[in-house]
Structure 1
């Protein structure tokens, strides 16, 4: 019979899973180039949202407690501002960020999700796992209906091409 602690852990895990969306892919590019594309504003602008949308502005302070500010621009001029805070950064391996805060410990008006990106070497490329953990199951469902899988996979394709380009460039 499971202990109270084991039962609570199982319930917490099940609840977290119902709030999570994930893409898990092998990208044919080196981990260092993928990490660089995640952490340099000029590179983020080249892949971070699915074309034909673009990133019009990108400012990032990639460290635990650092903030990010990006503006997505649509083909008809529509703009979406995204602000957040980095919670965990392990250079070359892991980035965790959230929109629950806009900077330092200033809460956002309506938090939507916390994202994690994990990078590991695999078969000459990089295992790329990107997760979005939402505050509610309704938020997860809304994100999925917005096109999470299609959009995040398009972005992963764009990221892979950029990282390949970076890796092929002379040092």
Structure 2
């Protein structure tokens, strides 16, 4: 597990225990063909995903609104600890190249998986640069959206 300083003024956290093994949650998080099945909370969808699963690799998705508008997101993987930790950021493109995130706000996602009986203690943290970015992400529906996506991930993982 990586160590970082959690700051409740800057960070948002979703924690839950789910009834699928860490290996299946990991597979759902790191396999593009599976990510497109769960990553966007319905009625949104994910139309594409590209992952190069290594530090400096890409984590790119395209989310599609119910009206058909597409929202690409490009990011860089920072940490890969198989079946335990995935860290990526929208502040960087692949190869650790800084990037302009356009109208959005950059953040770093830390996904931590810990065995919990036959299931997984799942913690997703969104780390923000400032309180305004955190507030924007919260108002966009971080808890509801990431929670709904986790429910969808669990359904996909159960089918594996």
Does the 8 Å CA contact 2:76/2:92 hold for their aligned counterparts?
A: yes
Give the aligned CA root-mean-square deviation in angstroms: 1.4
Does the 8 Å CA contact 1:19/1:137 hold for their aligned counterparts?
A: yes
1:123 is matched with 117
Does the 8 Å CA contact 1:30/1:164 hold for their aligned counterparts?
A: no
* Residue 31 (str. 1) matches residue 22 (str. 2): yes
Q: Alpha-carbon deviation of 1:142?
A: 0.4
Normalising by structure 2, we get a TM-score of 0.92
Residue segments in structure 1 that go unaligned for 5+ positions in a row: 1-11, 167-171
Normalising by structure 1, we get a TM-score of 0.86
Larger radius of gyration: 1
2:90 is matched with 99
Does the 8 Å CA contact 1:100/1:107 hold for their aligned counterparts?
A: yes
2:128 is matched with 134
Q: Alpha-carbon deviation of 1:13?
A: 4.8
Query: Separation in 2 of the partners of 1:108 and 1:53?
Result: 25
1:64 is matched with 55
Residue segments in structure 2 that go unaligned for 5+ positions in a row: none
SS of equivalent residue, structure 1 residue 46: helix
Query: Separation in 1 of the partners of 2:107 and 2:135?
Result: 12
1:46 is matched with 37
